[in-house]
Amino acid sequence: MVTIYDVPADALIEAVAARLEDRIDEPDWVEFTKTGAGKELPPEQDDFWYVRSASLLRKVAQNEPIGIERLATEYGSKKRGSNRYIVRPGEHESGSRKLIRASLQALEEEGLVTTAAGEGRRVSDEGEAFLSEVASEVFENLDRPELERYA
């Protein structure tokens, strides 16, 4: 049985994002929002919402139970001030908690994630089955010779 640890993260996230486009709806405000306080502009990807949701689903599966605060730290970036005048060292800024919370709530409505009281979010049994199914498809379609030893 293939798990999320057996396939490269970028290939898994791309495949899960493609599947999530049919399962969850993108909010209207996503195209206008930034991904964190350290960013100046919103993301330019057309499918950003689905890629971020897939990435969050993978992170929750790896680090469960995990809360929004820790996820915001992981999705944060370095804030350097203006692009024109960098006058002091950068500081870490957290990612957008609203974006993470809304994405996790959409995944909860779909039944892929559950809330553990006082602990954070966990992947449900349906979510684990979904990730394993996608991981096995990705593994079959991989054409990377360095991963043949895992077959």
Q: Quick one: DSSP state of residue 135? A: H
Residue 37 lies in a domain: yes
Output the domain CATH number for residue 115.
1.10.10.10
Residue 90 lies in a domain: yes
Range scoring the smallest mean pLDDT among 52-61, 73-82, 84-93, 99-108: 84-93
Q: Do the Cβ atoms of 54 and 17 come closer than 8 Å?
A: yes
Residues 6+ apart with CB under 8 A from 120: 64, 65, 66, 67, 68, 70
- Tell me the average pLDDT across 124-151: 81
Domain region containing 80: 9-150
Residue 128 lies in a domain: yes
What is the pLDDT at residue 130? 92
- Give the number of domains in the chain: 1
Residue 3 lies in a domain: no
Residue 143 lies in a domain: yes
Residue 1 lies in a domain: no
Q: How confident is the model at residue 114 (pLDDT cuts 50, 70, 90)?
A: very high
Q: How confident is the model at residue 93 (pLDDT cuts 50, 70, 90)?
A: confident
> How large a percentage of the chain has pLDDT more than 70?
88
Residue 60 lies in a domain: yes
What DSSP element (H or E) covers 122?
A: strand 120-123
- Tell me the average pLDDT across 72-100: 76
Q: How confident is the model at residue 40 (pLDDT cuts 50, 70, 90)?
A: confident
Cα(101)–Cα(43) distance, rounded to whole angstroms? Answer: 18
- Tell me the average pLDDT across 86-105: 82
Q: How confident is the model at residue 88 (pLDDT cuts 50, 70, 90)?
A: low
